[in-house]
Structure 1
Amino acid sequence: MWTLTVYAIPHHTGYHAPQSSTVCKESASQFHISAPPYDNYFFSDCHTSVQVVVTSPAPMSNLTIIGPRLLVAWPGGNSGIVGFFAPQDGQNGSLAITLENSTTPLAPIFKNNTSGPPVVGISGRIRFNTSAILTVAILGSIRTIRDFTEGPSLLVPKIQDAVVYSQDGEKVSLGRTWLDNVTETHLSFTARLGGVSLNHRTVVFEAGVYSFEASYNYPQLEQLNSIEVLKPQSTELVTQFSDQTASLSFLSYTTKLLAGAWRFLTYFGRDSMISLLLLQPVLSEGEGGAVEAVISAVLERINRSDGSICHEETIGDYATFLNMQGGLASTAPQYDYKMIDSDYYLPIVIEQYFVRTAVGQRRSEAFLQTQASVNPKNEGLTYADLARLNAEKIMNTSVAFAADGGQVKGNLIHLKKGQIVGQWRDSTYGIGGGRVPYDVNTALVPAALRSISALSNAGYFPDHPGWKTDAADFAKVWEDETLQFFEVQVPQASAIRRVEDYVKQSGFQGPANTDNITGNVSFYGLALEGNNNQAVVQVLNTDDCFRLFLLNTTNQSQLSAFLSQVADHILQPFPIGLSTSVGLLIANPAYGEDLMSAENWTTNAYHGTVVWSWQLAMMAAGLERQLVRCDDASAPNFCYDQTLHGKVKTAYNHVWDLIQANHAQLSSEVWSWVWRDGAFTVEALGNLPPAPGASPTESDVRQLWSLTFIAVRRNEKLK
């Protein structure tokens, strides 16, 4: 259960580029989100934005993966500090840590620096209930911290050996100069009630209260406050959704929106564009607004050599580290282009804003003539040039399948050579080793082609006048001819047997519900060419939402059949469907022929039998999009089929019932469940023991694309 405490929310104040004056003109914003065993504290003022996470094991915590921890995370440079603690007596679980002063637990640090960016940071007071030892401290980059917490717990000597420990009376300090030889990060503890001692690199605390200070000198971002991130006509949402809008503000800056707090405080292309598509009705437009921040960030980071969209930007100390690993003495950012799905969102978001909104139409010319300035390799290119490069890639890679007789598997979009991930299910077993993802081929490609056609009709891409019709023709073929490759048909008897085998293999304690299987089961698999020679990865999933949300297909028999199976799987309970009381599961491997599926898609897997908030949002928005088509003069055939239309409408309302029943989790990244006392019970993913050979995954307490319910609302007319 998440709880929120708001200390001060300056709804009508702006946090602009870091100011040189010591005192901010406007009051700071602080809010607190409790998600045991994690307490999250957020602070923003005119100088900096920072998140502090205090981890203290709860009674139900798995002590093998959760221990006392103080973490500080800055969006500026995706930077951070973490300290791991242990009880001095070695009794695991006996040490609890908390922040003192519940009214304003954090105070800012700001010092002007004549030789570079000012020193910014945060201070507070932390209490240890018993004597403790600081076991590990990492100073510098969130990515370094993530590598330690989510990887094999390896420390980088070049980074760790640079941490300098010192003591002055009752104050122990840790400091490290970054690999750039300029930036410095500092962490200190001063005894207020108790005592602290330093023996070489071992810090020992008596039970008591200590002031801590965490600071660094790195350029900061210009934040959009809760008002600035929203359209003027949507500012009432600040009052209605104070938690979500404060969280959205913390992740929103004039040059980019960040993916999540604390683990992903950097640019992620896919995340920001999906978030934009779902949040666009309420996001601020125009120069300096959130919509253009997303689109410009994506354009700035395009790979000019082939038009690929950057998935993740690596900056700060970790970028310098990676450059050094490659033999370069450079602090330049690094850009990850391994994903294939990100490419297709860009034309869609450009069309949605610059063609379909009045503000976008007015801003189009000036925006597209902007000169790229973030990625040095894009120097000399305008945003229009970069958008064209991306569209050219999409047209060039889609033409083979769209050609006469080209509808063969080899012409579908595959993962890049040597990669095991390429779309949003980007964990090791996310799509079961598949090489041809379902969402990319059946939804993203045709949706992008539709947008390229619309953009061309609006005067974009003047060097390619033929795209007006070519892109539309390509899109029709991709819409109508791709689903067949991913279709899975399981005969009734086999379906019953497979589900019962899965229940035994997985150890699921709830009912199998196989009496509800009254006929053959059909669905669309996650990918083609999966592990163990699977032609189709036979895992039931929620990725139908992409096609629902992004396309208005016109092949009537196909559309009706597609909607029917979508509704069936939403309405059927797990393990024969996707429905649970904690939400729709994004994956259900119960129908797979290979029992390895039960081991790869589990309750403790990042893309396993778990719930993702944004998938709920896109499913709800997608079903609504299809249902409101029934109000059009050219309504699809399913609208006149009373039984089918009723089933789809029932599925829509069932999704919303689940959303509303799980409102406490909606703003977090992902959550899991346990079967307890005869029911599904929400459980944080990071609280579950990891799968064999895997590391625990801690869900972000606030994720950008999990804040989309600010805009995605239930359509009461469809009840």
Structure 2
Amino acid sequence: MVYLTILATVALITTAVARPQSSSSPTPAAPDLSKSTCEETASRLYLPDPPHDNYFYSDCHTSVHVIVTSPRSESDLKIVKPRLLVAWPAGNSGVLALFAPESGQEGTLNISLKSSGDSALDSINDSNHVGISGSIDFNTTARLTVPILGSIRSIRDFTEGGSVNQDFQNSFGFALNADGGATINRTWLDGVTTTTLTFTPLNSAKAIVLNREAAWTLTFGTGTYRFEASYNYPQLEQLSPQEDLTGAASGLIAQNPDQTTSLSFLSYTDKLLAGTWRFLTYFGRDSMISMLLMQPILSEAAIEAVIGSVLERVNRTDGTVCHEEVLGDYATWLNRKDGIKSNAPRCDYKMIDTDFYLPIAMTSYFVDTEPGKQRSDAFFSKTASFLAENNGLKYSQLAQLTAEKIMRIATPFTQSQVMENLIHIKDGEQVGEWRDSNQGLGGGRTPYDVNTALVPAGLRAIAALSRAGFFSNHPDWSDVADQYAQIWEDETLRFFQINVPQTNAVSLVQNYVSSAGLSIPTNTDQIVGDITYYGLALNGSVGDPVVPVMNTDDCFRHFFLNTTNQTQLSAYLGQTANHILQPFPVGLSSDVGLFVANPAYSGDAVFATGFSQDDYHGTVVWSWQLAMMGAGLARQLGRCGGSDAPDFCTDTTLHAKILSAYNRLWDIIDANPDQLSHEVWSWRYDNGFKVEQLGAFISTESNVRQLWSLTFLAVHREKFGSS
């Protein structure tokens, strides 16, 4: 075969990350990927999610997610395009082949895998490459218009409306093969790793045509073509479902094969991945939230993979926890942009919330469980090896760096309870916690969840760790951290509280529905008093000190804290219950879930527009927020059984309302089982709220399987008596 090298166009959005400290690194040798025949049967999973068909394959050689997208009659053809997408967890790597009908008439090309379900894919494995193969059908003549080979980050940027920097596209080789097929290959920027995509005609399908005059595209005839996608990058060691779960939870494998297989696909011995296909790599926040919600069913190996991966990536200069790792081709590219000749991984440290989860996760396992206590010494004696700059540092040292940072930044507010001493998003950043889209906090700089829940919970955890023998250099933390936590628990909510008089509330909701053009009931008959809620953040962009958007982030405080200010606790639980019991747009509930944001009381068109049903953190549903709200309310209701039960437990009316809200939440969860493993979903209104995937409105797709959306394996409705 003869390869022809081409150039391609376009630009790429970048993310701020920590620079590798080494100025250069040697070019790596190509890995030997050969293994003996796998002893275990390959794991296969098929998940239809129109217009996407999702195929998962894992064996001892590789793990891969293949997505075939074919527009439906109702699809927005500006967003949904025919494509084949291959995503590998190893290196956060992938292949995209974007197709168009040769006729140019959008909507006429349909593609699908020849065999459906479990038999659609086969593995590729030799001493140099691993990958996947299958057969793809075209219903009409098609053209491959855009190939991307190498990085999921590049593919993600492209699919969300961006483009791909020429550095990732300038070394393609195209070849026409003797069997009528064609091959595209690309050597990564490391000079060693090569990704290859080959198509071969089957069953008398026409030979593929290379269109040199048309930006080097490929033309396919009607019929079936075999595809093979492979690369030579070191693979990860996957945890099987049996290795992921405790022995007591192993029955879930038979009861929930979809979710447990999905969990296994995202679980590896050195880290758990956030979701697939868009976030097929380490995200510290996601993995720790998932661990905390699923801890009762997770094995020691899975829990320690989470905590170990976080410690490995701590910034040794200031203790900041890594938000997202950058690997493979994308890491090499970012290094080059910084003038560094290196293939070393990098870390994104811009988030302000992730630090606090680390001591919470450590306490929940190494202090609160017997297996954790027994394994603690050996675990924290390990030395880091993932980031070169952390080599030789013990896990115990890295954990202390983060704890020291938390104590340092929490101190000013304990000395003076003013807004300036709260925790703010970093200068120059638009995001800093889980609502990490540009509009997610409505322009706010001081997030509600971080300041009212995560800071005090992190401080409580540091105190518990200190009492258990951690942080021997700071023996006073066993008391001081608790004292700090008490101040943060009791004194932060007031900054975020919003009170809307009843008359104003009715008018605001009616105006919101009308001005936003929503064909939904106003439900203002449900407003029977003043509305109280806590805004998303402080320092909003419209001059108000609080971003006036109702939200579900109450769940953090319910799940992470057992507060003791009785008047405050009763009022706080009461307003949460109201928002669950009251339907949107008065409250947060709908037939499809709790909306993570409700701008109805903002009285501002900017907020109404920025928090709509086609915004990533708008009037949409996030699965893990349902799980944390369910687990958090269960934690609070569970406090009523002890001798030191909070006051709300004996307030018959309030307790009944909270219990009703808890059961209402679970009625909604139970009514949407098909959505719960998704990352996020939206809605349309047709005599009631109906599920609509976010990708039907915008180019940002919901991951079909998200790690923290698998937490319903462990989070269940609990019985607390009759409401």
* TM-score above 0.5, yes or no: yes
Match of 1:7 in 2: none
Aligned length: 685
User: Is 1:540 the counterpart of 2:550 in the alignment?
Assistant: yes
How far the C-alpha of 1:171 sits from its partner, in A, is 1.1
Match of 1:155 in 2: 164
Whether the 8 Å CA contact 1:123–1:213 is kept in 2: the answer is yes
Whether the 8 Å CA contact 1:18–1:48 is kept in 2: the answer is no
Deviates further, 252-261 or 376-385: 376-385
Partner of residue 37 from structure 1, selected from 51, 66, 80: 51
For residue 239 of structure 2, what is the amino acid of its counterpart?
L
User: Is 1:245 the counterpart of 2:260 in the alignment?
Assistant: yes
Partner of residue 75 from structure 1, selected from 78, 89, 110: 89
Partner of residue 538 from structure 2, selected from 490, 505, 528: 528
Whether the 8 Å CA contact 1:304–1:378 is kept in 2: the answer is yes
**Residues 50-102 of structure 1 deviation map (CA, whole Å, 9 limit, x = unaligned):** 00000001221111100100000000000000000001111111100000123
For residue 274 of structure 1, what is the amino acid of its counterpart?
I
SS in 1 for 2:363: helix
How far the C-alpha of 1:718 sits from its partner, in A, is 4.4
User: Is 1:320 the counterpart of 2:332 in the alignment?
Assistant: yes
Match of 1:701 in 2: 704
**Residues 557-606 of structure 1 deviation map (CA, whole Å, 9 limit, x = unaligned):** 00000000000000000000000000000000000032211110010000
**C-alpha distance in 2 between matches for 1:41 and 1:474:** 49
Whether the 8 Å CA contact 2:637–2:720 is kept in 1: the answer is no
How far the C-alpha of 1:18 sits from its partner, in A, is 9.4
Whether the 8 Å CA contact 1:22–1:111 is kept in 2: the answer is no
How far the C-alpha of 1:519 sits from its partner, in A, is 1.4
How far the C-alpha of 1:700 sits from its partner, in A, is 0.3
Partner of residue 394 from structure 1, selected from 383, 403, 406: 406
Give the TM-score normalised by the residue count of structure 2.
0.94
For residue 311 of structure 1, what is the amino acid of its counterpart?
H
For residue 298 of structure 2, what is the amino acid of its counterpart?
L
SS in 2 for 1:266: coil
How far the C-alpha of 1:161 sits from its partner, in A, is 2.1
User: Is 1:293 the counterpart of 2:305 in the alignment?
Assistant: yes
Match of 2:155 in 1: 145
Match of 2:278 in 1: 263
**Residues 167-215 of structure 1 deviation map (CA, whole Å, 9 limit, x = unaligned):** 0131100000000000000001000031121122220001000000000
For structure 2, the residue ranges without an aligned partner over 5 or more in a row are 1-30
- CA gap of 1:20–1:637, structure 2 versus 1, over 3 A, is same
Deviates further, 123-132 or 327-336: 327-336
**C-alpha distance in 2 between matches for 1:459 and 1:172:** 62
How far the C-alpha of 1:24 sits from its partner, in A, is 1.5
For residue 371 of structure 1, what is the amino acid of its counterpart?
T
User: Is 1:348 the counterpart of 2:360 in the alignment?
Assistant: yes
Match of 1:489 in 2: 499
Match of 2:38 in 1: 24
Whether the 8 Å CA contact 1:498–1:593 is kept in 2: the answer is yes
How far the C-alpha of 1:532 sits from its partner, in A, is 1.8
How far the C-alpha of 1:22 sits from its partner, in A, is 4.8
How far the C-alpha of 1:19 sits from its partner, in A, is 6.8
Match of 2:209 in 1: 197
SS in 2 for 1:512: coil
Deviates further, 578-587 or 496-505: 496-505
For structure 1, the residue ranges without an aligned partner over 5 or more in a row are 1-16, 113-117, 691-695
- CA gap of 1:591–1:18, structure 2 versus 1, over 3 A, is farther
**C-alpha distance in 1 between matches for 2:80 and 2:236:** 32
Match of 1:422 in 2: 432
Partner of residue 686 from structure 1, selected from 670, 695, 705: 695
Whether the 8 Å CA contact 2:33–2:126 is kept in 1: the answer is no
SS in 2 for 1:166: strand
SS in 2 for 1:533: coil
Match of 2:249 in 1: 234
**C-alpha distance in 1 between matches for 2:267 and 2:240:** 8
**C-alpha distance in 1 between matches for 2:32 and 2:701:** 31
**C-alpha distance in 1 between matches for 2:673 and 2:201:** 41
How far the C-alpha of 1:515 sits from its partner, in A, is 1.7
For residue 250 of structure 1, what is the amino acid of its counterpart?
F
For residue 650 of structure 2, what is the amino acid of its counterpart?
Y
Equivalent runs, 1:470-619 vs 2, <5 Å: 470-619=480-629
- CA gap of 1:366–1:65, structure 2 versus 1, over 3 A, is same
How far the C-alpha of 1:324 sits from its partner, in A, is 1.2
**C-alpha distance in 1 between matches for 2:238 and 2:401:** 30
**C-alpha distance in 2 between matches for 1:422 and 1:73:** 27
How far the C-alpha of 1:649 sits from its partner, in A, is 0.3
SS in 1 for 2:583: coil
**C-alpha distance in 1 between matches for 2:719 and 2:303:** 27
Match of 2:67 in 1: 53
**Residues 354-397 of structure 1 deviation map (CA, whole Å, 9 limit, x = unaligned):** 00111100000110010111111112210000000000000011
**Residues 604-630 of structure 1 deviation map (CA, whole Å, 9 limit, x = unaligned):** 000000000000000000000000100
How far the C-alpha of 1:23 sits from its partner, in A, is 2.2
For residue 715 of structure 2, what is the amino acid of its counterpart?
V
Match of 2:713 in 1: 710
**Residues 495-530 of structure 1 deviation map (CA, whole Å, 9 limit, x = unaligned):** 111111110121111110112212111100000001
User: Is 1:453 the counterpart of 2:467 in the alignment?
Assistant: no
Partner of residue 108 from structure 1, selected from 110, 123, 139: 123
Whether the 8 Å CA contact 1:166–1:172 is kept in 2: the answer is yes
Whether the 8 Å CA contact 1:96–1:130 is kept in 2: the answer is yes
Deviates further, 294-303 or 168-177: 168-177
RMSD of equivalent CA atoms: 1.1
How far the C-alpha of 1:716 sits from its partner, in A, is 3.0
Whether the 8 Å CA contact 2:34–2:125 is kept in 1: the answer is no
Match of 1:10 in 2: none
**C-alpha distance in 1 between matches for 2:513 and 2:45:** 43
**C-alpha distance in 2 between matches for 1:181 and 1:606:** 37
**Residues 289-338 of structure 1 deviation map (CA, whole Å, 9 limit, x = unaligned):** 10000000000000011110000000000101111111211111110000
For residue 509 of structure 1, what is the amino acid of its counterpart?
S
SS in 2 for 1:484: helix
SS in 2 for 1:264: coil
SS in 2 for 1:535: coil
**Residues 133-176 of structure 1 deviation map (CA, whole Å, 9 limit, x = unaligned):** 00100000000101111143x23222212111110131100000
**Residues 252-273 of structure 1 deviation map (CA, whole Å, 9 limit, x = unaligned):** 0000000001000100000000
Match of 1:664 in 2: 674
Match of 1:275 in 2: 290
**C-alpha distance in 1 between matches for 2:46 and 2:232:** 25
**C-alpha distance in 2 between matches for 1:150 and 1:39:** 19
**C-alpha distance in 2 between matches for 1:30 and 1:646:** 46
For residue 691 of structure 2, what is the amino acid of its counterpart?
V
**C-alpha distance in 2 between matches for 1:342 and 1:697:** 23
Whether the 8 Å CA contact 2:437–2:617 is kept in 1: the answer is yes
For residue 367 of structure 2, what is the amino acid of its counterpart?
V
Match of 2:684 in 1: 674
For residue 604 of structure 1, what is the amino acid of its counterpart?
D
SS in 2 for 1:622: helix
Match of 1:433 in 2: 443
How far the C-alpha of 1:717 sits from its partner, in A, is 3.9
**C-alpha distance in 1 between matches for 2:145 and 2:587:** 45
Match of 1:4 in 2: none
**Residues 610-667 of structure 1 deviation map (CA, whole Å, 9 limit, x = unaligned):** 0000000000000000001000110000000000000000000011000000010000
**Residues 473-516 of structure 1 deviation map (CA, whole Å, 9 limit, x = unaligned):** 00000000000000001111111111111101211111101122
**C-alpha distance in 2 between matches for 1:51 and 1:512:** 42
**C-alpha distance in 2 between matches for 1:18 and 1:480:** 57
User: Is 1:373 the counterpart of 2:373 in the alignment?
Assistant: no
**C-alpha distance in 2 between matches for 1:583 and 1:202:** 44
Match of 1:115 in 2: none
**C-alpha distance in 2 between matches for 1:484 and 1:256:** 38
For residue 312 of structure 1, what is the amino acid of its counterpart?
E
**C-alpha distance in 2 between matches for 1:23 and 1:225:** 17
